[in-house]
Amino acid sequence: MFALVDCNNFYASCERLFRPELNGKPVVVLSNNDGCVIARSNEAKALGFKMGDVFHKVRDRITENQVHVFSSNYALYGDISARVMTNLARFSPKVEVYSIDECFLDMSGITHLHKYSHIVRNTVMRNTGIPVSVGVAPSKTLAKLANRMCKKTGGVCVLKSEEEITRALKDFEVGDLWGIGRRYAKKLNGFGVYTALDLRNLSLEFVKDKLTIQGVRMWYELHGKPCIPLKLKIERKKNICCSRGFGKATNDYSQLEEATANYVSRLSQKLRKDGSCATVLSVRLLTNPFKEGTPQLFPCVSISLQHPVNNVPDMVKAALKGLKHVYREGYMWNKVEVMATGLVPEGETQLHLFSSWNGTVNNKISKLMDRINRHYGEGTLRMAIEGKRHRWAMRRAFLSKEYTTKWADIVNVK
């Protein structure tokens, strides 16, 4: 048996966690640059706000309905997510963190599943303040389906018997199944498959003949035969990217240098945390494709690094060289993207046979910067080229405090 634990309206719940006066009131969270609605409380959903609503188009409705608006606070969400996952790890020896707000648990050997699921739910709520839903079933696909049904069952749904599974599949649209997108759902509709039960009732021969291997796995999963195991080991990343849109488009080269240096610094930090080194660094500039009447260009360059690196000085130097290569005058740049590819494990780097490289000092500098920034706060020690006042920084007009990761933002009790 598998359980899928999903945090309810996670971003909105995080914002409410340290603002209890917002409980019961409509809350929405916006994407980068305060562009679109990406999270909604149940009260905001009831008012008709949809995922992906463009903020400036619904701003009047937000004001009219007294909806509380927040910019994305990823530092807060990431830390709260880690606390939730740590609590969930207490309830099963096998855990797969599926996303920032979802986690699969292996429930094998547990007899009173319904009671145990309520214990999981109540413990997470008590220890973190984040409400969760728990769906339990014989396979991951069915567990995902059970989790979707939790709204009607008080936060916990257990699909164990054949009768319970059949009843759940009967009215569940096939397009809402885990792993089925719009195009795949349209293909299934062409075969007369409209519900999850319709898909399960197909013969295995038909599924093998007409559908992909993904369809065959789903067919088995809907019959309660697990084909998708838990991923207990984090796979090494093949590439790591750092990219964010600017708060305001710019053609100022010095601002582009600052932004590139900032993004590469974050990128190198991610590499060190992952225990990887990059052999190729890509730099890309982007204009705003949604702004009509302005010239468009998306130049990109990939730089083959002479030695695999993950330290800040070497990567910033290479990235600025790439920026100089792709920069063109006469364009308003809206975004810069840096990506590290050709990743190799940090302990398995191979130096160049015919050239010397003394990166030991730069590696020590980067590790020292990491220690200082962890202790005193992000950005305490940085490269001079990164600047201090970032005129290009993305818009976050409704940003809440970093209550759990910043000393200055810790809640004061009077």
Per-residue DSSP letters for 322-388? HHHHH--TT--EEEEEEEEES-EEGGG----SSS----HHHHHHHHHHHHHHHHH-TTSS--GGG-S
Q: Which two tokens stand for residue 44?
A: 């905001």
Identify the pLDDT of residue 352: 67
Q: What is the mean pLDDT of residues 115-127?
A: 94
- Could you say which architecture CATH assigns to the domain 161-222? Orthogonal Bundle (1.10)
Pairing of strands 37-40, 27-30: antiparallel
Confidence (pLDDT) at 354: 66
Is it the case that residue 8 has pLDDT exceeding 80? yes
- The Cα 392–Cα 23 span in angstroms is 35
pLDDT at 129 over 90: yes
CATH class held by domain 2-152: alpha beta
**pLDDT of 390 over the 80 cut:** no
pLDDT of res. 249: 87
**Every domain range in the chain assigned CATH 3.30.1490.100:** 239-386
Lowest mean pLDDT among 48-52, 348-352, 396-400: 348-352
Provide mean pLDDT across the span 238-247. Answer: 88
Neighbours of 318 (CB within 10 A): 21
Phi first, then psi, for residue 203 (nearest 5°) are -75, 150
Average pLDDT in the 156-164 region?
A: 90
Cα-to-chain-centroid distance, residue 195: 29
The band of 358, judged by pLDDT with boundaries at 50, 70 and 90, is low
Distance (Å, whole) CA 308 – CA 344 = 8
Structure confidence at residue 376 as a pLDDT band (50, 70, 90): confident
Return the bridge partners of 281, or none.
Answer: 303, 340
pLDDT of the residue at 184? 80
Residue 91's SS3 state is helix
8 Å CB contact between 232 and 206? no
| Helix/strand/coil for 289 | coil
pLDDT band of residue 359 (cuts 50, 70, 90) is low
How many CA atoms does the CB half-sphere of 375 hold within 13 Å? 7
Strand partners, 243: 337
Confidence band (pLDDT; 50, 70, 90) for 193?
confident
Residue 205: pLDDT above 90? no
pLDDT of 41 above 80: yes
Say whether pLDDT at 379 is over 90.
Answer: no
Asked if the model's pLDDT at residue 172 lies above 80, the reply is yes
What is the per-residue pLDDT for 22?
93
Buried b (16+ CB within 10 A) or exposed e, 355-375: eeeebeebbeebeebbeebee
C-alpha distances out from residue 245 to 249, 278, 331, 378, Å: 9, 24, 15, 20
Q: How confident is the model at residue 325, as a pLDDT?
A: 93
Report the pLDDT value the prediction gives residue 33, as an integer from 0 to 100. Answer: 87
Sequence-ordered list of residues with C-beta below 8 angstroms from that of 248, at least 6 positions apart, any chain: 391, 392, 395
- What percent of the chain stands above pLDDT 70? 98
Rounded to an integer, what distance in angstroms lies between the CA atom of residue 105 and that of residue 358? Answer: 46
Mean pLDDT of 344-358: 73
Question: What pLDDT is attached to residue 171?
Answer: 85
What the block records as the tokens of 233 is 């080991």
pLDDT at 227: 87
Range 239-386 has CATH code 3.30.1490.100? yes
Q: What is the pLDDT of residue 120?
A: 94
Contact 28, 8 (CB under 8 A): no
- For 47-93, the pLDDT digits (tens) are 999 999 999 999 999 999 999 999 999 989 999 999 999 999 999 98
Q: What are phi and psi of 188, to 5 degrees?
A: -65, -40
The predicted pLDDT at position 131 comes to 94
Give the chain's mean pLDDT: 89
Q: Is-contact 136 118, C-beta < 8 A?
A: no
- Res 414: pLDDT: 77
353 pLDDT band, cuts 50/70/90, is low
Strands (E), 187-274: 239-250
pLDDT at site 324: 94
Contact 307, 331 (CB under 8 A): no
Distance CA 156, CA 115 (A): 9
Query: How far, in Å, are 34, 115, 169, 402 from residue 87 at the CA level?
Result: 32, 17, 31, 21
Among 35-39, 116-120, 403-407, the least confident range? 403-407
Tell me the range of 40-49, 347-356, 368-377 where mean pLDDT is highest.
40-49
